[in-house]
Amino acid sequence: MIHPKSIPFILICFAIFLAGCKHKKATVEEHSIATDTIVVHNFNSLEPLLHTDSETTHIVNFWAMWCAPCVQELPTFVAYAKNNPNTEVLLVSLDFPKDIETKLKPFLKEKGITPKVVLLDDADANSWIDKIDPNWSGALPFTIIFNNKSRSYHERTFESLKDLENEVKKTINNQ
């Protein structure tokens, strides 16, 4: 059925087949070493996370390890998430993908940052900053508070947990 001359050819193809998948597998393992995988998004894959169909309160904070005021206010989000388990808190890091394993994960562990963290790596920020909020200059930190009905944008540091709580109330409950 199989022509003898084609056997080496088939073997080569099979080798390519195996090599292709092995490579893929290696990549998969690399991205899920620990239980705390940090997904790297571009703007298009991040954007759906900035909207919701539900009434659940969402807080999305854009930050980075290199941004001192951002690091200062992280405990505020951690505390808010603990006090309000029904709120979805998402921390969007603008750190560098190469630093995820060596710097970001150790940083999150050391600081006890428990809310979900994803990374946004999309070079041409001028093309997507306005799609998030045209009034955002691009400076960090930047926070969005929203559910399916209301949303508010904050290009500033929250001074305290109380400050953040008030802004959430104002946004979600129109208080």
Partner 1 sequence: MLVVLVAGTIISCKNNAKNQDQTTTAINQDKDNHEHPPKHPDDRKGPPRGNHSPEQTKTLEEIGGYNFDDVATDFELKNVDGTMVSLSNYSDAKGYVVVFTCNECPFAKMYEDRLIALHNTYAPKGYPVIAINPNVTENNDRESFEAMQKRATDKNFPFVYLADEKHEISPKYGAVRTPHVFLLNKERKVKYIGTIDDNAKSAKDVKVKFLENAIEALENGTKPNPNFTKAIGCPVKIG
Which of 78-86, 100-108, 145-153, 160-168 is the region at the interface with partner 1 (rule: CB under 8 A)? 145-153
CA distance 6 to 36: 47
- Strands 58-63 and 142-146 turn out to be antiparallel
Report the alpha-carbon angle 150-87-118, nearest 5.
95
For partner 1, which residue of 75, 83, 114, 138 counts as binding (CB under 8 A)?
A: 138
CA distance 114 to 91: 10
Does residue 162 touch partner 1 according to CB under 8 A? no
CA distance 27 to 35: 16
Does residue 89 touch partner 1 according to CB under 8 A? no
- Strands 88-93 and 142-146 turn out to be unpaired
The minimum distance between CB 26 and partner 1, in angstroms, equals 11
Which of 12-20, 72-80, 103-111, 161-169 is the region at the interface with partner 1 (rule: CB under 8 A)? 12-20
For partner 1, which residue of 86, 135, 173, 175 counts as binding (CB under 8 A)?
A: 135
Please answer whether residues 162 and 142 qualify as being in contact, where contact means their C-beta atoms are separated by less than 8 angstroms.
no
Q: Two tokens at 51?
A: 């909207």
Does residue 26 touch partner 1 according to CB under 8 A? no
CA 54 to chain centre: 20
For partner 1, which residue of 88, 104, 113, 164 counts as binding (CB under 8 A)?
A: 88
Please answer whether residues 129 and 149 qualify as being in contact, where contact means their C-beta atoms are separated by less than 8 angstroms.
no
Does residue 141 touch partner 1 according to CB under 8 A? yes
For partner 1, which residue of 72, 83, 150, 166 counts as binding (CB under 8 A)?
A: 150
Residues at the contact surface with partner 1, assessed by CB under 8 A: 6, 9-10, 13-14, 16-17, 20-21, 24-25, 27-28, 31-32, 35-37, 39, 44-45, 47-53, 66-69, 88, 94, 96, 116, 118, 123-127, 129-141, 146-151
